[in-house]
Amino acid sequence: MVEYNILNDRALAGLMSGDDRRAFTEIYNRYWKKLFSIAANKIHDLDEAEEIVQDIFVSLWRRRDKLNVIDTLSAYLAVSVKYRVIKALAKRNSHQKYADYSKSHLNIVDNTTEQWLEFEELKDRLMVFVTELPEKCRLVYQLSREAGYSQKMIAEEMGISEKTVEAHLGKALRTLRARLSQFLL
């Protein structure tokens, strides 16, 4: 019977690559506390540190047959922790930057019933204003804003030049802005 606790990393990695779960368990037991300690000291969140280390071991097991870290298992795992911690900190930093930005730059929409009704009324009024546009302006506007066509696609669809499409779209937008601003006042 093999005594796994006396085997070196090379032997354990070799056994693990052959699907030996006991070899993997020995690697896990040998390195888990060390990796957790490294992650926890850098990330300052025990749950997140534990998740990082668990993910590393899951990845190690899944890729066991592709690993070429026979002699450097300890270094490989330490580098894995380092990169996972960097990735977690970058993600946390990104979330924090977005939260800070949204607090200072974005107006948080209050979804009250009154605001929803005002929005629906505005949307209905816009639809009415669109139907009142001259036919070609209305068609260009609808293809552009409602169907998502590019100016080139609209020109091909309607058999007109892109400049004409641009002119119709400009006229439609000016008219709608003017009508909506009168409505809002």
For residue 117, give the CATH number of its domain.
Answer: 1.10.10.10
| Whether residues 17 and 40 fall in one domain | yes
| Whether residues 28 and 75 fall in one domain | yes
Structural domain boundaries enclosing 157: 113-184
| Whether residues 124 and 66 fall in one domain | no
Per-residue 3-state assignment (H helix, E strand, C coil) for the chain: CCCHHHCCHHHHHHHHHCCCHHHHHHHHHHHHHHHHHHHHHHHCCHHHHHHHHHHHHHHHHHCHHHCCCCCCHHHHHHHHHHHHHHHHHHHHHHHHHHHHHHHHHCCCCCCCHHHHHHHHHHHHHHHHHHHCCCHHHHHHHHHHHHCCCCHHHHHHHHCCCHHHHHHHHHHHHHHHHHHHHHHHC
pLDDT at position 56:
93
pLDDT at position 1:
67
Report the number of distinct structural domains present in the chain: 2
Choose the final residue of a domain: 105, 135, 151. 105
| Whether residues 18 and 88 fall in one domain | yes
Confidence (pTM): 0.53
pLDDT at position 71:
65
> Over its length of 185 residues, how does the chain's per-residue pLDDT go in tens digits?
678 888 888 888 888 888 889 999 999 999 999 999 999 999 888 999 999 999 999 999 998 888 776 667 888 898 899 999 999 888 888 888 887 777 776 655 556 788 888 888 888 888 889 899 999 999 998 888 888 889 998 998 899 999 999 999 999 999 989 888 887 77
pLDDT at position 57:
93
